[in-house]
Amino acid sequence: MLPVSRAVEQTADMEDIYMRIVVEKYHGLGNDYLVYDPNKNKLKLTPSNVQLMCNRNFGVGADGVLEGPILDGEQISMVVWNPDGSVAEKSGNGVRIFAKYLKDAGYVQKKDFTISSQGGEAAIHYLNEEGTRLKASMGKVSFWSDDVPVEGPRREIINETMVFGRIPYPVTCLSIGNPHCVILMDEISKDLVCRIGRYSESAKQFPEKINTQIMKVLDRTHIQTEVYERGAGYTLASGSGCCAAAAAAYRLGLTDPKMFVQMPGGTLELEIDGEGVVHMTGDVGYVGTIKLGSHFTEQLRALK
Protein backbone atom coordinates (compact mmCIF):
# COMPACT_ATOMS: atom_id res chain seq x y z
CA MET A 1 0.00 0.00 0.00
CA LEU A 2 1.33 3.48 -0.91
CA PRO A 3 2.10 5.99 1.87
CA VAL A 4 -0.63 8.63 2.18
CA SER A 5 1.70 11.40 0.99
CA ARG A 6 2.66 9.42 -2.13
CA ALA A 7 -0.96 8.49 -2.82
CA VAL A 8 -1.98 12.15 -2.62
CA GLU A 9 0.92 13.07 -4.91
CA GLN A 10 -0.06 10.38 -7.43
CA THR A 11 -3.70 11.51 -7.36
CA ALA A 12 -2.57 15.10 -8.00
CA ASP A 13 -0.44 13.88 -10.91
CA MET A 14 -3.44 12.06 -12.42
CA GLU A 15 -5.64 15.12 -11.99
CA ASP A 16 -2.98 17.26 -13.64
CA ILE A 17 -2.76 14.85 -16.58
CA TYR A 18 -6.55 14.93 -16.92
CA MET A 19 -6.80 18.70 -16.58
CA ARG A 20 -3.75 19.65 -18.61
CA ILE A 21 -4.31 20.92 -22.15
CA VAL A 22 -1.32 21.15 -24.43
CA VAL A 23 -1.45 22.65 -27.93
CA GLU A 24 1.24 23.06 -30.57
CA LYS A 25 1.51 26.32 -32.48
CA TYR A 26 2.66 26.51 -36.10
CA HIS A 27 2.31 28.95 -38.96
CA GLY A 28 2.20 28.74 -42.73
CA LEU A 29 3.44 32.06 -44.12
CA GLY A 30 2.05 33.94 -41.11
CA ASN A 31 -1.29 32.09 -41.14
CA ASP A 32 -1.09 30.58 -37.65
CA TYR A 33 -2.89 27.57 -36.22
CA LEU A 34 -3.05 25.67 -32.96
CA VAL A 35 -2.87 21.89 -33.30
CA TYR A 36 -5.13 20.23 -30.74
CA ASP A 37 -4.43 16.50 -30.48
CA PRO A 38 -7.49 14.66 -29.05
CA ASN A 39 -5.31 11.62 -28.37
CA LYS A 40 -3.31 13.63 -25.83
CA ASN A 41 -5.95 15.96 -24.36
CA LYS A 42 -9.27 15.56 -22.54
CA LEU A 43 -11.43 18.38 -23.84
CA LYS A 44 -14.30 18.30 -26.30
CA LEU A 45 -13.87 21.21 -28.68
CA THR A 46 -16.91 23.43 -29.16
CA PRO A 47 -17.44 26.68 -31.06
CA SER A 48 -17.23 28.62 -27.79
CA ASN A 49 -13.97 27.20 -26.48
CA VAL A 50 -12.37 27.39 -29.94
CA GLN A 51 -13.27 31.10 -30.05
CA LEU A 52 -11.59 31.64 -26.68
CA MET A 53 -8.46 29.67 -27.61
CA CYS A 54 -8.06 31.70 -30.80
CA ASN A 55 -8.69 35.05 -29.11
CA ARG A 56 -5.49 37.11 -29.36
CA ASN A 57 -6.21 39.12 -26.20
CA PHE A 58 -7.83 36.65 -23.80
CA GLY A 59 -6.61 33.34 -25.27
CA VAL A 60 -3.61 31.82 -27.01
CA GLY A 61 -4.27 33.59 -30.32
CA ALA A 62 -4.53 31.92 -33.74
CA ASP A 63 -6.23 31.98 -37.13
CA GLY A 64 -7.80 28.62 -36.27
CA VAL A 65 -7.49 25.23 -34.59
CA LEU A 66 -6.58 21.95 -36.27
CA GLU A 67 -8.13 19.07 -34.35
CA GLY A 68 -6.51 15.71 -34.93
CA PRO A 69 -5.27 13.23 -35.81
CA ILE A 70 -8.56 11.38 -35.83
CA LEU A 71 -7.44 7.83 -36.58
CA ASP A 72 -9.51 5.17 -38.32
CA GLY A 73 -7.26 2.31 -39.34
CA GLU A 74 -4.72 3.86 -41.69
CA GLN A 75 -6.90 6.88 -42.43
CA ILE A 76 -5.77 10.14 -40.83
CA SER A 77 -8.33 12.93 -40.55
CA MET A 78 -8.48 16.41 -39.08
CA VAL A 79 -11.13 19.01 -38.32
CA VAL A 80 -10.39 22.61 -39.33
CA TRP A 81 -11.90 25.13 -36.91
CA ASN A 82 -12.15 28.81 -37.85
CA PRO A 83 -11.50 31.38 -35.09
CA ASP A 84 -15.21 32.25 -34.98
CA GLY A 85 -15.97 28.64 -33.97
CA SER A 86 -17.28 27.50 -37.34
CA VAL A 87 -15.82 24.47 -39.15
CA ALA A 88 -14.07 24.91 -42.50
CA GLU A 89 -14.04 22.17 -45.11
CA LYS A 90 -10.37 22.59 -45.96
CA SER A 91 -7.26 24.69 -45.32
CA GLY A 92 -4.16 24.74 -47.52
CA ASN A 93 -1.85 26.19 -44.87
CA GLY A 94 -3.62 24.07 -42.28
CA VAL A 95 -2.98 20.80 -44.11
CA ARG A 96 0.74 21.59 -44.43
CA ILE A 97 0.91 22.54 -40.75
CA PHE A 98 -0.94 19.38 -39.73
CA ALA A 99 1.39 17.25 -41.87
CA LYS A 100 4.37 18.84 -40.11
CA TYR A 101 2.80 18.08 -36.72
CA LEU A 102 2.19 14.45 -37.69
CA LYS A 103 5.89 14.10 -38.48
CA ASP A 104 6.98 15.92 -35.31
CA ALA A 105 4.70 13.79 -33.12
CA GLY A 106 5.78 10.50 -34.75
CA TYR A 107 2.44 9.61 -36.30
CA VAL A 108 3.94 9.21 -39.80
CA GLN A 109 7.34 8.16 -41.06
CA LYS A 110 6.54 7.85 -44.77
CA LYS A 111 7.30 10.61 -47.26
CA ASP A 112 3.91 10.25 -48.92
CA PHE A 113 0.51 9.89 -47.27
CA THR A 114 -2.99 11.38 -47.28
CA ILE A 115 -4.87 13.66 -44.87
CA SER A 116 -8.67 13.79 -44.91
CA SER A 117 -10.91 16.66 -43.87
CA GLN A 118 -14.50 17.67 -44.49
CA GLY A 119 -13.53 19.08 -47.90
CA GLY A 120 -11.85 15.91 -49.17
CA GLU A 121 -8.36 14.44 -49.22
CA ALA A 122 -4.98 16.08 -49.63
CA ALA A 123 -1.99 14.01 -50.75
CA ILE A 124 1.16 15.06 -48.88
CA HIS A 125 4.80 14.74 -49.94
CA TYR A 126 7.62 15.84 -47.61
CA LEU A 127 10.40 17.65 -49.47
CA ASN A 128 12.93 17.59 -46.62
CA GLU A 129 13.69 15.47 -43.57
CA GLU A 130 12.44 18.08 -41.11
CA GLY A 131 9.04 18.28 -42.81
CA THR A 132 9.24 22.07 -42.98
CA ARG A 133 8.78 22.11 -46.76
CA LEU A 134 5.93 20.13 -48.27
CA LYS A 135 3.97 19.58 -51.43
CA ALA A 136 0.22 19.05 -51.10
CA SER A 137 -2.20 17.99 -53.83
CA MET A 138 -5.29 19.96 -52.91
CA GLY A 139 -7.84 18.38 -55.22
CA LYS A 140 -9.70 19.23 -58.39
CA VAL A 141 -11.16 22.66 -59.03
CA SER A 142 -14.78 23.16 -60.07
CA PHE A 143 -16.21 26.45 -61.37
CA TRP A 144 -19.79 25.11 -61.45
CA SER A 145 -22.23 27.12 -59.39
CA ASP A 146 -23.79 24.11 -57.65
CA ASP A 147 -20.37 22.94 -56.47
CA VAL A 148 -19.29 26.29 -54.99
CA PRO A 149 -22.27 26.86 -54.23
CA VAL A 150 -23.71 30.01 -55.83
CA GLU A 151 -27.44 30.64 -56.14
CA GLY A 152 -29.19 30.85 -59.51
CA PRO A 153 -29.19 28.65 -62.61
CA ARG A 154 -26.41 26.08 -62.96
CA ARG A 155 -23.47 27.66 -64.73
CA GLU A 156 -19.73 28.12 -64.51
CA ILE A 157 -18.98 31.36 -62.67
CA ILE A 158 -16.27 32.85 -64.89
CA ASN A 159 -15.74 36.62 -64.95
CA GLU A 160 -19.34 37.26 -63.89
CA THR A 161 -20.36 40.66 -62.54
CA MET A 162 -21.48 40.67 -58.91
CA VAL A 163 -22.27 43.62 -56.65
CA PHE A 164 -20.82 43.86 -53.14
CA GLY A 165 -21.51 47.02 -51.14
CA ARG A 166 -23.18 48.63 -54.18
CA ILE A 167 -20.01 48.26 -56.27
CA PRO A 168 -19.84 45.82 -59.24
CA TYR A 169 -16.84 43.49 -59.54
CA PRO A 170 -15.71 40.89 -62.14
CA VAL A 171 -15.96 37.65 -60.16
CA THR A 172 -14.77 34.09 -60.78
CA CYS A 173 -16.10 31.59 -58.24
CA LEU A 174 -14.85 28.06 -57.65
CA SER A 175 -14.63 25.21 -55.20
CA ILE A 176 -11.51 23.29 -54.26
CA GLY A 177 -13.35 21.52 -51.45
CA ASN A 178 -14.25 24.92 -49.99
CA PRO A 179 -15.81 27.98 -51.68
CA HIS A 180 -13.88 30.91 -53.16
CA CYS A 181 -14.65 34.20 -54.88
CA VAL A 182 -11.71 35.60 -56.88
CA ILE A 183 -11.74 39.19 -58.16
CA LEU A 184 -9.21 40.37 -60.74
CA MET A 185 -7.98 43.92 -60.08
CA ASP A 186 -5.28 46.32 -61.24
CA GLU A 187 -4.24 47.20 -57.68
CA ILE A 188 -4.85 45.27 -54.45
CA SER A 189 -4.50 46.04 -50.74
CA LYS A 190 -5.54 44.88 -47.28
CA ASP A 191 -8.03 47.72 -46.92
CA LEU A 192 -9.66 46.89 -50.24
CA VAL A 193 -10.09 43.16 -49.61
CA CYS A 194 -11.49 43.88 -46.15
CA ARG A 195 -13.94 46.38 -47.59
CA ILE A 196 -15.14 43.85 -50.20
CA GLY A 197 -14.96 40.81 -47.91
CA ARG A 198 -17.24 42.28 -45.28
CA TYR A 199 -19.99 42.25 -47.92
CA SER A 200 -19.06 39.24 -50.05
CA GLU A 201 -18.54 36.73 -47.20
CA SER A 202 -22.25 36.68 -46.33
CA ALA A 203 -23.72 37.88 -49.64
CA LYS A 204 -27.10 36.37 -50.47
CA GLN A 205 -25.79 34.55 -53.56
CA PHE A 206 -23.47 32.45 -51.37
CA PRO A 207 -25.65 30.19 -49.17
CA GLU A 208 -22.62 28.71 -47.38
CA LYS A 209 -20.70 32.01 -47.27
CA ILE A 210 -17.42 32.37 -49.16
CA ASN A 211 -13.69 33.14 -49.03
CA THR A 212 -12.70 36.24 -51.00
CA GLN A 213 -9.42 36.85 -52.85
CA ILE A 214 -8.52 39.97 -54.80
CA MET A 215 -5.83 39.19 -57.34
CA LYS A 216 -3.29 41.11 -59.41
CA VAL A 217 -1.52 39.34 -62.29
CA LEU A 218 2.11 40.42 -62.60
CA ASP A 219 3.12 38.19 -65.50
CA ARG A 220 2.53 34.65 -66.82
CA THR A 221 4.17 33.04 -63.78
CA HIS A 222 3.54 35.49 -60.92
CA ILE A 223 0.38 36.76 -59.27
CA GLN A 224 -0.34 38.64 -56.03
CA THR A 225 -3.34 38.12 -53.74
CA GLU A 226 -4.95 39.54 -50.63
CA VAL A 227 -7.46 37.39 -48.79
CA TYR A 228 -10.50 37.77 -46.55
CA GLU A 229 -11.35 34.34 -45.15
CA ARG A 230 -14.80 33.12 -44.27
CA GLY A 231 -14.99 32.82 -40.49
CA ALA A 232 -11.59 34.43 -39.95
CA GLY A 233 -11.44 37.79 -41.72
CA TYR A 234 -8.17 39.19 -43.06
CA THR A 235 -5.19 36.82 -42.97
CA LEU A 236 -1.60 37.18 -44.15
CA ALA A 237 -1.82 34.04 -46.28
CA SER A 238 -4.26 31.37 -47.39
CA GLY A 239 -3.22 28.09 -48.97
CA SER A 240 -6.59 27.18 -50.43
CA GLY A 241 -7.06 30.84 -51.40
CA CYS A 242 -3.78 30.71 -53.34
CA CYS A 243 -4.97 27.58 -55.11
CA ALA A 244 -8.23 29.32 -56.01
CA ALA A 245 -6.52 32.46 -57.29
CA ALA A 246 -4.07 30.42 -59.37
CA ALA A 247 -6.88 28.30 -60.83
CA ALA A 248 -8.90 31.40 -61.67
CA ALA A 249 -5.94 33.18 -63.29
CA TYR A 250 -5.16 30.11 -65.39
CA ARG A 251 -8.80 29.60 -66.42
CA LEU A 252 -9.00 33.24 -67.47
CA GLY A 253 -5.97 32.64 -69.72
CA LEU A 254 -3.76 35.08 -67.83
CA THR A 255 -1.05 32.69 -66.59
CA ASP A 256 0.77 29.45 -67.30
CA PRO A 257 -0.21 26.36 -65.28
CA LYS A 258 2.86 26.80 -63.05
CA MET A 259 3.13 30.01 -61.07
CA PHE A 260 4.18 31.73 -57.85
CA VAL A 261 1.47 33.30 -55.71
CA GLN A 262 2.69 36.18 -53.56
CA MET A 263 0.88 37.15 -50.34
CA PRO A 264 1.81 39.49 -47.49
CA GLY A 265 2.95 36.45 -45.46
CA GLY A 266 5.07 34.89 -48.20
CA THR A 267 4.97 32.97 -51.47
CA LEU A 268 3.59 29.58 -52.50
CA GLU A 269 4.40 27.61 -55.65
CA LEU A 270 1.33 26.38 -57.54
CA GLU A 271 0.90 23.94 -60.38
CA ILE A 272 -2.35 22.98 -62.11
CA ASP A 273 -2.17 19.63 -63.88
CA GLY A 274 -4.10 18.44 -66.92
CA GLU A 275 -6.89 17.03 -64.77
CA GLY A 276 -7.48 20.34 -63.02
CA VAL A 277 -5.84 19.19 -59.77
CA VAL A 278 -3.94 21.95 -57.95
CA HIS A 279 -0.58 21.13 -56.35
CA MET A 280 0.79 23.50 -53.73
CA THR A 281 4.38 23.73 -52.43
CA GLY A 282 5.38 25.80 -49.43
CA ASP A 283 7.02 26.08 -46.04
CA VAL A 284 5.78 25.63 -42.48
CA GLY A 285 7.20 27.13 -39.28
CA TYR A 286 7.02 25.62 -35.79
CA VAL A 287 6.43 28.15 -33.00
CA GLY A 288 6.29 26.03 -29.87
CA THR A 289 4.43 23.87 -27.38
CA ILE A 290 1.96 25.68 -25.16
CA LYS A 291 0.69 24.21 -21.88
CA LEU A 292 -2.46 26.06 -20.95
CA GLY A 293 -2.80 27.39 -17.41
CA SER A 294 -5.20 25.78 -14.94
CA HIS A 295 -7.51 28.80 -14.70
CA PHE A 296 -7.69 29.17 -18.48
CA THR A 297 -8.28 25.43 -18.81
CA GLU A 298 -11.20 25.69 -16.37
CA GLN A 299 -12.63 28.50 -18.49
CA LEU A 300 -12.43 26.32 -21.59
CA ARG A 301 -14.07 23.36 -19.87
CA ALA A 302 -16.90 25.56 -18.58
CA LEU A 303 -17.85 26.70 -22.09
CA LYS A 304 -20.48 24.67 -23.92
Helix (DSSP H) and strand (DSSP E) numbers for the chain: 6, 18
Closest to 126 in 3D by CA, of 151, 153, 145, 107: 107
229 carries a ligand binding annotation: yes
Q: Is 39 annotated as a binding residue?
A: no
159 is annotated as contributing to ligand binding: no
Q: Is 57 annotated as a binding residue?
A: no
Centre a 10 Å sphere on the Cβ of residue 245 and count the other Cβ atoms it contains. Answer: 33
Q: According to the annotation, is 93 in a ligand binding site?
A: yes
- The residues facing 76 across adjacent strands are 71, 115
- Asked whether residue 301 is marked as a ligand-binding residue, the answer is no
Annotated ligand binding at 20? The verdict is no
Judge contact between 81 and 94, C-beta under 8 A. Answer: no
Q: Is 211 a known ligand-binding residue?
A: yes
CB 19 within 8 A of CB 10: no
* Bridge partner list, 227: 213, 235
**Is the four-CA dihedral 69, 72, 75, 78 of positive or negative sign?**
negative
- 280 Rama class: left (phi>0) / alpha (psi -120 to 50) / beta: beta
For strands 179-184 and 258-263, give the pairing: unpaired
H or E, element range at 302: helix 294-302
Query: Which parts are annotated binding residues?
Result: 31, 82, 92-93, 178, 211, 229-230, 239-240
Query: Which parts are annotated binding residues for substrate?
Result: 31, 82, 92-93, 178, 211, 229-230, 239-240
